[in-house]
Structure 1
């Protein structure tokens, strides 16, 4: 039965394929051939036989204790069904053996968390299966010289150091275990090779899985959350495959601090097809000494919120074809690759040149990618309307997504709904009736058809400005005249606070402003040439300039009082030019010649 289970696992992973930009990639994990993998447990034993600690220092000791089995592959010695609690000794110690054995269905508690529950050294062909290990120093410690070991379906928690520790060993499989609330590490492997760490759940530890000076190993299909570093590869750990791991909190209660961390000369590692979500810091972090690693086809969702990037690279690693939830547009050529590279934090200024618009391997959990407000996002002065814009959300289960928009005019103290059930990523908001303040924020809430929501608010406050129209200023006429045949009327423009078009009309009065006559309207320039040749003479003329803007606003200006006198020499007023030439002759006799040149403009023309 166990043989068939392993074959099933091998077949399952050998057919895993996923989309790439150049074809189809298939990854088949390697496996040691000396041990079969049993089916994952469906539950733990509920009754045990009490006994004291067990010390096996050679193959013959198994028989001396009277454990059932013969020690060969088909009939391993069985240490099973015991409850061992002791604060003075390690609970099960096995050293220097090659006989096949299994430690299964036991309850092990060292009470003070100062001793190991299971300690093995220089051991081959051992299996640790379906045990409960509580309040120990290490739940399971596989120490120097161990080979062909299998640790499967154990529950390990409240260890003062590590749930499972592997040191200076090889060909060790760690499958389907649950490790949590261990003070330092869920799984710590040091100076070991050819490890298979598959399908474990590790949470609420300082480090989830730590490879230190380990080579040729596979970290596959694990779930890690609530850890400071979910997955740390360090200290000359080279040529390892980190595949299909889920580094996120499914309930969004206890996120990881950092997703994947490479440091201290970790080289040639392949980090492929992992999902890293909601880490409070970076989704992956690569220190300067750890180059030549490949980070490809991963899904990064909502990590390092508030930072400039979900990833940090100080070593120029190869970063290609990853999905970044905060970088999904534009894709103008519809090739499912964002047209602009995704920038990483770090001194080498690396980027992902081919960020994907959707995950290469959609995560099995349901999520919405974050929504981000694009405009208004702080600092804007909004007139009568504004186009609110935001990024579209991706639903991992392809549910329909609707958007609702809210605003506050008092820095978030109160929120009002503008509109709901939108399916586009922009909306034209008419603000003419809203209170004019400088403390506005926008909130966009995205919700899928099953009620999952994400939201975003403007990064800073923006203003709604009142609609005003300043007064124009008349620049001509500025003297009292008299004027004869033509008068230039000029002005400085009125300013509309909402940038509406301003048009001008002109009236004149011959009685100092008591009554008015329309002269012209619909002007958009800043001057008008008035033909006054047919206007009656008078001493009390004024002109009124009226500015009008869309929305009904008007403002005006009135000129100085001036006179119109036909057939007389003007008094230096606007519209005529006088040239005076003075000559001095011999004998100090002055001859004054006055030449009056009147430039008469016939007809009124706007300039």
Structure 2
């Protein structure tokens, strides 16, 4: 191909420019709730929500029908009450619902679910901070989704699951809690991945008795349980601290020179595939996202290289040829501009050629 080598060159240039900026932009602590102070100040202040049965959803007039395809939406609320026990309480329901984009700061539990229908609850993009008990608590509630929430600076735990199994707890930030970031009690078969646990007073993640067959991977543990030997606790059994499909575990700030990370507790578990060893990133979340985005970036840059190569490389080639001609002219001590002079007519050419021939012969005789 005419521009094949040139296109490859453009691809290398563009990729070299894109990758560093991509890594920097992805070096995030978490993909948790994006609600900040300005956001929740805009939200209308709302009294605490208490739903004791399915009919209460209708009483509150939340949008949706409660069907799995059209769940009730509890969203964009700012609940702040220094004396109430629950910010949002939902119990003994069968309807599907989503709690999202809420800022909750109360004296007790931020969000409390009790005995809701299997697979009916999604808690996403909420900010639950500074509560006496737990930021988010699930009791006897299975197959729930707890995703992209910020549960920090709570007196007990950031997220608490009790008798709640087959849940997905992912992309949450649980930092600076007085106890643990996430605590599981008698909760099994949960997937806990890509969460951030930073500077919790006890463990970043704690699995109590009868919490087995849980999968923990791609989480970030930084400076938790600083007075202890491990940032995680496992007092149950058969929990995996890595993804068995990719053989990728978690990031541990105190791994040091160890090849495996020991988990405190009766199980005597290990994270046998710490991310520190495989990916030398300050935060594995950056790598986790980069793996997804990099192939897309390569395709885009290849297309750009193909398009731009046709326009850029003819110009570059012309400049390069001009440079080469000038260098050759200089070596021969010729006027560089002579290269671009119009061709001489035939008679002048023959005359000069004859003169040069006679001159060479005369030099040879000498």
TM-score (normalised: structure 2):
0.59
Alignment correspondent of 1:54: 49
User: Quick one: distance in 2 between partners of 1:288 and 1:186?
Assistant: 17
Q: CA RMSD in A?
A: 2.7
User: Quick one: distance in 1 between partners of 2:114 and 2:173?
Assistant: 23
Within 5 Å, which residues of 2 pair with 1:428-447? none
Change (3 A) 1:95 1:285: same
Q: Which of the residues 279, 282, 286 maps onto 1:362?
A: 279
User: Quick one: distance in 1 between partners of 2:281 and 2:216?
Assistant: 18
Shift of 1:278: 2.9
User: Quick one: distance in 2 between partners of 1:87 and 1:158?
Assistant: 15
User: Quick one: distance in 1 between partners of 2:129 and 2:102?
Assistant: 11
Cα pair 1:211 1:232 within 8 Å, conserved: yes
Shift of 1:277: 4.1
Query: Alignment partner of 1:193: what SS?
Result: coil
Alignment correspondent of 1:242: 241
Q: Aligned residues, how many? A: 236
TM-score (normalised: structure 1):
0.36
Shift of 1:284: 4.0
User: Quick one: distance in 2 between partners of 1:162 and 1:151?
Assistant: 15
Q: Which of the residues 170, 173, 184 maps onto 1:175?
A: 170
Alignment correspondent of 2:252: 276
Cα pair 2:129 2:154 within 8 Å, conserved: yes
More helix as a share of residues:
2
Within 5 Å, which residues of 2 pair with 1:515-534? none
Q: Which of the residues 101, 116, 138 maps onto 2:109?
A: 116
Alignment correspondent of 1:563: none
Greater gyration radius: 1
User: Quick one: distance in 1 between partners of 2:110 and 2:248?
Assistant: 35
1:232 equivalent to 2:252? Answer no
Shift of 1:152: 0.8
1:149 equivalent to 2:125? Answer no
Unaligned runs of 5+ in 2: 1-30, 284-366
Alignment correspondent of 1:166: 161
Shift of 1:290: 3.7
Shift of 1:165: 0.4
Query: Alignment partner of 1:185: what SS?
Result: coil
Alignment correspondent of 2:295: none
Change (3 A) 1:57 1:278: same
Structure with higher RCO (Cα < 8 A, 6+ apart): 2
Shift of 1:215: 1.0
User: Quick one: distance in 2 between partners of 1:289 and 1:231?
Assistant: 12
Alpha-carbon displacement from aligned partner over 1:527-571 (angstroms, at most 9, x marks no partner): xxxxxxxxxxxxxxxxxxxxxxxxxxxxxxxxxxxxxxxxxxxxx
Cα pair 2:110 2:135 within 8 Å, conserved: yes
Query: Alignment partner of 1:210: what SS?
Result: strand
Shift of 1:138: 0.7
Change (3 A) 1:62 1:215: same
Change (3 A) 1:140 1:212: same
User: Quick one: distance in 2 between partners of 1:142 and 1:61?
Assistant: 19
